[in-house]
Amino acid sequence: MNITILTYGSRGDVQPFVALAIGLQKRGHYVKLAAPHKFNEFIASHGINSVSLAGDPEEISRLINDVGTNPIRVIASLWKYIFSIAPQVSRAAFPACQGADLIVHSFLFTVGGHSWAREHNIPDVSIQTFPMFAPTRAFPNVSAPNIPPGSLSYFSHWLATQIFWHGGNLGYGPALRAHPEIDYPRRLYFPFDENPPRLRTPLLFAYSPSILPRPSDWNEHVHVTGYFFLDEPNYQPPMELSSFLAEGEPPICISFGSMVNRRAERIDQMIHEALKRTNHRGIILSGWGGIARQPSDDLLYLESAPHGWLLPRCKMLIHHGGAGTTSAGLRAGIPQVVAPFTADQPFWGKRVHAIGVGSKPIAVNQLSVERMVRAMAEAESKPVLERAQATGQRIRGEDGVEEAVRVIESHAAAFGKSPIF
């Protein structure tokens, strides 16, 4: 099959789909991956045909960090930015779908990718890195992690879906009229409704059932595949990293990923002091935060390093709770301390604590040296360490990409036999 994958966001949003693209190509499929232009080189380095999309995902990070954890403000900021770049993104994204036999779409392309596939009479599959569009009573929507299980949880999922659907529709008509030259779908369709005779779009969640088991009240079109890990066996660490790891005990890794936050300098100072008080060595992956200091015997700053390579060489992970970083810590089997910023991060922070592989999360605006020191001590306890190691072993035995490829191929085969033809 010719398969086009549509995704948008930070590296944590793009990297799982690189892993999926590799898995699909190993099965003989031809894949195009449309993602922000910032990741062209990264995608191409793994032998994937990259389609460059406009916009700067760093701007999304800055916007949602500035509004904090209020879900309405987060969504409003997100839609405002999306509508501002939608025409530029669409000029590349929808032409990338021409000639495809199947479309794979992630969060921000959920409706647009499905609608394009529907109008062109081809199958589509939705893949999300967090639970969305599948109401359940078992746990709340990621935007409201403190709601208890039950009817309120179910309502939180329904409400989040309504906001997503109607918010997207709100700006679609004007965009369609303003840019008739773009191959927009003529109308929007929601992927997960039953619309016989067209088969319902499969909804795949690319996380492990070890951190969030599949609820019994989900329909059969919803799948929990396991994480999509991207291994980089040819990675050669810089000399400073190799030397640092060799010269002392395993360090704590601190990674706030793609978060751009105005408190970055203050957070860095607190982390530095907490490491000093607890007599730990640390590797700080600065990412887009931009903080960097001179290395010492106990502290090393790097812009980035593959989590799959680095984390098994560390004793603990302190991070923001992004889905990708959380998954890497779980797979490595090391305890975690989560200081969530926004979006789905508080939800994953609570899950890390709930399954016993990390300390209770600390919201980034409540972070202090004393709280960080206590959280590190909790994460170092024997029960947490043993649970983290056991969870890591289970997750290393899963193959999310293989399961996703199986579902994609199965759906494509069933679609070809459906009465819609």
Tell me the pLDDT of the chain averaged across its residues: 91
Q: Are 369 and 270 in contact (CB under 8 A)?
A: yes
Looking at residues 5-31, what average pLDDT do you find? 96
For residue 289, pLDDT beyond 60: no
**pLDDT at 327 (0 to 100):** 97
For residue 342, pLDDT beyond 50: yes
For residue 421, name the pLDDT band (cuts at 50, 70, 90). very low
**pLDDT at 218 (0 to 100):** 98
**pLDDT at 137 (0 to 100):** 98
Q: How many residues does the chain have?
A: 421
Q: Which residues lie closer than 8 Å to 374 by C-beta, 6 or more apart?
A: 359
For residue 22, pLDDT beyond 80: yes
Looking at residues 274-296, what average pLDDT do you find? 80
Distances from the Cα of 216 to the Cα of 134, 135, 222, angstroms: 12, 11, 11
- Which pLDDT tens digit goes with each residue over 147-196? 999 999 999 999 999 988 988 887 777 777 777 878 788 889 999 988 87
**pLDDT at 170 (0 to 100):** 77
Looking at residues 189-215, what average pLDDT do you find? 94
**pLDDT at 328 (0 to 100):** 97
For residue 253, pLDDT beyond 70: yes
How distant is the alpha carbon of residue 129 from its chain centre? 5
Q: Which residues lie closer than 8 Å to 90 by C-beta, 6 or more apart?
A: 112, 175, 179, 182, 183, 184
- Which pLDDT tens digit goes with each residue over 67-76? 556 666 666 6
2-227+398-417 shares its CATH topology with 239-396: yes
Is domain 239-396 in CATH 3.40.50.2000, yes or no?
A: yes
Looking at residues 217-242, what average pLDDT do you find? 95
Looking at residues 197-215, what average pLDDT do you find? 96
CATH number of 2-227+398-417: 3.40.50.2000
For residue 259, name the pLDDT band (cuts at 50, 70, 90). low
**pLDDT at 65 (0 to 100):** 65
**pLDDT at 188 (0 to 100):** 92
Helix (H) or strand (E) holding 18, with range, is helix 11-26
Looking at residues 274-288, what average pLDDT do you find? 89
**pLDDT at 287 (0 to 100):** 65
For residue 54, name the pLDDT band (cuts at 50, 70, 90). very high
Looking at residues 341-369, what average pLDDT do you find? 94
Looking at residues 245-262, what average pLDDT do you find? 81
**pLDDT at 295 (0 to 100):** 66
**pLDDT at 235 (0 to 100):** 92
**pLDDT at 21 (0 to 100):** 98
- Helix ranges (H only) for 108-234 are 110-119, 151-178
Q: Are 225 and 404 in contact (CB under 8 A)?
A: yes
Q: What percent of the chain has pLDDT over 90?
A: 72
Helix, strand, or coil here: 144?
coil
Q: Which long-range contacts (CB under 8 A, 24 or more apart) does 102-105 make?
A: 102/1, 102/2, 102/3, 102/4, 102/408, 102/412, 103/3, 103/4, 103/5, 103/6, 104/3, 104/4, 104/5, 104/6, 104/17, 104/20, 104/408, 105/5, 105/6, 105/7
- Going along 208-281, which residue ranges are E strands? 222-224, 252-255
For residue 49, pLDDT beyond 70: yes
For residue 61, pLDDT beyond 80: no
Distances from the Cα of 403 to the Cα of 27, 307, 350, angstroms: 12, 22, 26
Helix (H) or strand (E) holding 65, with range, is helix 57-67
- Of the candidate ranges 80-89, 231-240, 363-372, the one whose mean pLDDT is the lowest: 80-89
Q: Are 135 and 157 in contact (CB under 8 A)?
A: yes
For residue 211, pLDDT beyond 60: yes
Per-domain residue ranges for the chain? 2-227+398-417, 239-396
